[in-house]
Amino acid sequence: MRVVVMGVIGSGKTELGRTLAAQLHWPFLDADDYHSAQARAQMATGTPMSDDDRRPWLLALRRALGERPEVILACSALKRRYRDILRLPGTRFVYLDVPAALVRERLNHRPDHFAGPSLLPSQLEALETPDPSELDVLTLHVSLQDSPSDLATRVMTAFNLH
């Protein structure tokens, strides 16, 4: 199984992804590592990527997923068409549904990341919340009290990964 942890910036994708990967002894991939230097520089200025900018990045992520039968990927996957590119057989998605206020708080505590708080409005606008027809998506409603370990336990139980 391949698991894509998705959501807006600051939702906790990387923390949950790393926790899941460690508990399952699976490789962890961070989609941020696949951005070009140009894309990073663009986002650092607060300018979101366009769909055209994202396409080669998403295709590189699809290739990386396809190279591994068991892997955890942290990736925004904001739109259904982005998720469709990543939908290889055996891929499941975990959507982190986090209140915007909590995301803003988290973003204010990671000043060294290239994707800063100024990108949040465009991410929230671009987000296509997974709908019930996306049967391969588990939605986790995240609160301040949820730790990455708590969320990992919920994912592992839902996906029967033990």
Q: Write down the domain spans for the chain.
A: 2-158
- Chain centroid to Cα 76, Å, comes to 4
Higher-pLDDT residue of 27 and 53 is: 27
Q: Are strands 71-74 and 137-141 parallel, antiparallel or unpaired?
A: unpaired
Of 32, 57, 21, give the one whose Cα is nearest residue 112: 32
| pLDDT reported for residue 114 | 53
| pLDDT reported for residue 49 | 77
Task: Kindly list the strands in the beta sheet with 2-6, ordered across the sheet, starting from the edge strand earlier in the chain.
Answer: 28-30, 71-74, 2-6, 91-97, 137-141
Which of 60-64, 96-100, 143-147 is modeled with the greatest confidence?
A: 60-64
43-50: average pLDDT = 74
Of 85, 81, 94, 50, give the one whose Cα is nearest residue 65: 85
Instruction: Give residue 130's region: left, alpha or beta (phi > 0; psi -120 to 50).
Output: beta
Q: Is the pLDDT of residue 69 over 70?
A: yes
125 φ/ψ angles, rounded to the nearest 5 degrees: -70, -40
Mean pLDDT of the chain: 90
Instruction: Tell me the CATH architecture of domain 2-158.
Output: 3-Layer(aba) Sandwich (3.40)
CA distance 123 to 20: 24
| pLDDT reported for residue 115 | 55
Half-sphere exposure of 22 (CA within 13 A, CB side): 10
| pLDDT reported for residue 118 | 73
pLDDT, one tens digit per residue, over 124-153 is 999 999 999 999 999 999 998 999 999 999
